[in-house]
Structures are given as structure tokens and as C-alpha cells.
Structure 1
Amino acid sequence: MFILTKISDLIKLPPDTFNEDPITAIKYQINKKYANKVINRLGLGVSLYDILDMEDGQIKPGDANAYIQVTFQLIVFKPMIGEIITGFIKSSNIQGIRVTLFPPIDSKNNQSNSKYLSDAKKGSVEFFDDIYIPKEMLFEGCYFSVEEQIWVWNTDGSDETKVFFDLNEKIRFRVEKEIFFDIKPNMKEIQEKERLLEEKGEDALTNESNEKVASEDDPAPYIIIGSCQTDGMGLVAWWEE
């Protein structure tokens, strides 16, 4: 599910970091650039693992920032084809099931269910929800209930043997395919973010841009396609009984 990848990159250190410990500042800038970001054709960056090498810093004419060539290892979320993963059903429609690796939220206290959270600490991933199980990759005998807006598996054709893909339930699936979309940056949006950052700081940038980002219906840069077609797949609860 996770791999280590070696990356060499020119890391920028702003002037306000010059009085800090250089290693700490470099680690922060690497995580800022790569953590929770999709690296095309590779996977989702998680966190810096270690720094292998770095050269002396340089300051370019007319630019107050320092630039340091750094070679490092990054932890990347990249499930292998054929790998079995456990997640949670986020939503369903006539096309199939969407799975999240976030533990479900308890609406009463807005916290993750403690049972699921304990499972997450054992190795589940809590930051990825662009996983789709198309209808053609579900068990034979599955159909979509329009009334309940969930998928139902009629295991042998009788009503007594129906089982349900209920929302928020833990589901086990097999990774079949990964899809990357090379999404080009929106230059107008980048310029607007730079203006907000310069005028009002990072807090204002986060508050004023999040609504716009959340409302846009852009394709996810990284999508995983899964299947539930063999014994042991589907809701974990089915196989525990």
C-alpha cells in the first residue's frame, strides 16, 4: 500500500526561515510541497521519510529566497494491482460504489468512530476517498435499490439471502486499476492565491479559497478502481458472522 520513492528536487527556503535550523526548514518545505499531493504516475505523497543528500544553498540575483538541491525519500500511497484493501462505503449510485479510507464520522460528536479509528491505527489509510467499485465489478446478482439508494446482493435468488452494501460499513475490495489525470494548473487561480497570501497571509488564503476549491467539480488527479467479486470481498461483517 505504501512505497518509498527517491526524489531529487530544488527546494526553496523563504527568507523568514534563514534563522531556523536548516534541516528542520527543509523538511517543512518538502512536506509542504509533497504531502497530500498527487505525484503523476506515482501515487499520493504522504510524508518525508529521510534526507539522503543536499547541496549548498544558492541565492539568485533579484530573489531573496535560498535554493537547495535536496535528494530525499518520500513515503507514497500507491496500492499494488491485486492488493486487498479495507475501506468504508462513502456513497452509492446506479453506477456503483464509492469507497473512502476515512473512518466514518459520528454525527453526534463529529468524531471518527473509535472502533474504526483503532483499526485505522493498525494500518488503514485515513486520507484518500477517490476509490470506485463499478457495478460490473460487483458480485453476480447485485442490483441497485433506488428506494434505499444502496446496492443489494441477492446471493442465491431468494429474499432471505439478500445482503446490503450499507453506507459507512467496512468493505473489503481488490485493487484492479489506477487512473491518473494530468490536471493543468489554473494560472488565474494561482495568481489570486499569491495575491491573497501577500495581502492577508496564509489564514486568509485558506479561508477565502477553500469554498471555491470545494465547489469545483474537477476530476480527481488520482483514482483507484476496485472490485468485489470473490469470496472474502464485500462487507467485512458478512464474513465474520
Structure 2
Amino acid sequence: MYILVALADVVQIPPSDFHKSSIRAIEDFINTKYADKVIHKIGLCVGFHSLISASEGLIGHGNGIVNVNVDFRMVVFRPFKGEILRGTITHSNQAGIYISMDFFEDIIVPPQLLFSNTTWDKDEEGTEAFIWRSEDGEGGFNEFFFDKAEKVLMRVEQEQWNDLSPQMKRPDDYDMERRDEYGMKLGPYRIMASMMHSGLGPSLWWLGEEAAAAEDEAGTNGVDDMEVDAAGGAEV
């Protein structure tokens, strides 16, 4: 789910930060610039990890800002294809199911990546949702609902990238309210996921309510294992 990525940049330390240690000032600058931002074809930056190297600081003419060339590592969110992720259904429509991981919300499960015999329909209360109808072995069907706010497990199937930097955009592309075929705003990074295999979908289907609640609590109190992979450096 997480990787380490080596990056290079010029850190600018203003005089107001001279009271900090050098490493603290560098770390604060990098976190302010990169945290919670997507780097194209790299992933969502989570936070500073470690400093690889730093040059001597050069004081800018007339402003007192110290410029330092640094190489550093960032923790980046970028799950691999086939990885199982945990999230929460935020809403659904006929285009698909939209899922949030709290810190990342550009995840969608389109209808073709749900269990076979899943349809967009109304439940007993008249609320529209995707419903999976599974044969019960006695000629009938059991109904399972992809309800809003359900905790789910999903499988990563595809990444979608959009380079939103000004030099890559045409004049008619600056309408940030424009919606795509899923009704979503254009974003730099999106995950297409599936829920079409045993064990995927709402946790309570497979575990029962008590076990699902206990697992959610354990996931909240625990810390996910971090999978670290030294990726190639990318200069920005």
C-alpha cells in the first residue's frame, strides 16, 4: 500500500525558520509542499521519511532565504494491482460504488466489477442501492446489499492518472467542475477497484455483525503494515 520514493528538490528556508535545526526546517518545508499532494505516475504523498543528502545553503540576494539542494525519501500511497484494501462506501449510483479510505476518496467500483447477478434496485425501504442476489441452493435467492457507510474490502484493478499541471492542459480543460462518465470531478489519481470475489464486499456479509465490528475496531486501533519499496528517484 505504501512505498518509499526518492525525490530531489530545492528547499527554501526563510529567516523566520532559522531558530529551527537544519533537518527540522527541511522536513517542515517538504511536508508543507508535498504532503497530501499527488505526484503524477508516483502516487499520493503521505509525509517525509528521511533525508538522503543536502548541499551547503546559499543565501538569496536581498531576501535572506537560504536555498538548499536536497535528496530525500517520501512515504507515498500507491497500492499495487491485486492488493486488497479496506474502505467505506460513501454513496452509490448507477455508474458505480464510491469508496473512501478517509485520507483518499478517489476510488470507484463500476457495475461490471461487482458480483455477477448484481443489479441497481430498491431495497425494502425504497432506497436505491446495488443488490447482489445469490442462489440459496433451494431454488431461491439471498439478497445482499451494498449499503452506504458499510465497511468493505475491495481489490485494486487499475490506476488512472490525469496530468493537471498547467503546461499539460488546454484552455478548455480549466473547468474543474467538469464531471466524467462516473459523475466524478477530474482528479490527478484514481483507483478502479472490484468486489466480485469471495471475501470482498461488505465485511458483515462474510464475518457477521459482531465479528465485523470487532475487526473494524482492531483496524482503527492498530497500525497497518507498511510495505516499503525503494523506487527510482523523480526530480520535481
TM-score normalised by length of structure 1: 0.73
- What is the rounded CA distance, in whole Å, between the counterparts of 2:106 and 2:132 in structure 1? 23
Do residues 233 (structure 1) and 214 (structure 2) align?
Answer: no
Structure 1 counterpart of 2:170: none
Unpaired runs of 5+ in structure 1?
A: 103-126, 187-214
- What is the rounded CA distance, in whole Å, between the counterparts of 1:216 and 1:63 in structure 2? 38
177-186 or 222-231, which deviates more = 177-186
Q: Relative contact order: is structure 1 or structure 2 higher (C-alpha 8 Å, sep ≥ 6)?
A: 2
Give the AA of the match of 1:65.
I
223-232 or 62-71, which deviates more = 62-71
Structure 2 counterpart of 1:78: 78
How far the C-alpha of 1:22 sits from its partner, in A, is 1.7
- The correspondence of residues 160-199 of structure 1 with structure 2, limited to 5 A, is 160-185=141-166
- What is the rounded CA distance, in whole Å, between the counterparts of 1:159 and 1:45 in structure 2? 48
- The correspondence of residues 1-241 of structure 1 with structure 2, limited to 5 A, is 1-102=1-102, 127-145=103-121, 147-156=126-135, 160-185=141-166, 216=177, 218-241=185-208
**Residues 10-41 of structure 1, C-alpha deviation per residue, up to 9 Å, x if partnerless?**
11112211232221111100111111110110
- What is the rounded CA distance, in whole Å, between the counterparts of 1:142 and 1:48 in structure 2? 42
Q: Aligned with 1:230: secondary structure?
A: coil
- What is the rounded CA distance, in whole Å, between the counterparts of 1:169 and 1:31 in structure 2? 32
* Counterpart contact for 2:129–2:145, Cα < 8 Å: yes
Give the AA of the match of 1:149.
E
- What is the rounded CA distance, in whole Å, between the counterparts of 1:185 and 1:6 in structure 2? 24
Cα gap change, 1:19 to 1:185, in 2 (>3 Å) = farther
How far the C-alpha of 1:59 sits from its partner, in A, is 2.2
Number of matched residues?
189
Give the AA of the match of 1:64.
G
Residue identity (%): 35
Structure 2 counterpart of 1:117: none
Structure 1 counterpart of 2:233: none
* Counterpart contact for 2:8–2:71, Cα < 8 Å: yes
How far the C-alpha of 1:53 sits from its partner, in A, is 1.0
* Counterpart contact for 2:135–2:141, Cα < 8 Å: no
Unpaired runs of 5+ in structure 2?
A: 168-175, 179-184, 209-236
Structure 2 counterpart of 1:109: none
* Counterpart contact for 2:7–2:73, Cα < 8 Å: yes
**Residues 36-62 of structure 1, C-alpha deviation per residue, up to 9 Å, x if partnerless?**
110110100001111111111112334
Runs of 4+ in structure 1 off by over 4 angstroms are 157-160, 215-218
Q: Aligned with 1:16: secondary structure?
A: helix
**Residues 178-221 of structure 1, C-alpha deviation per residue, up to 9 Å, x if partnerless?**
111111359xxxxxxxxxxxxxxxxxxxxxxxxxxxx9554111
- What is the rounded CA distance, in whole Å, between the counterparts of 2:191 and 2:140 in structure 1? 32
TM-score normalised by length of structure 2: 0.75
How far the C-alpha of 1:160 sits from its partner, in A, is 4.8
* Counterpart contact for 2:90–2:100, Cα < 8 Å: yes
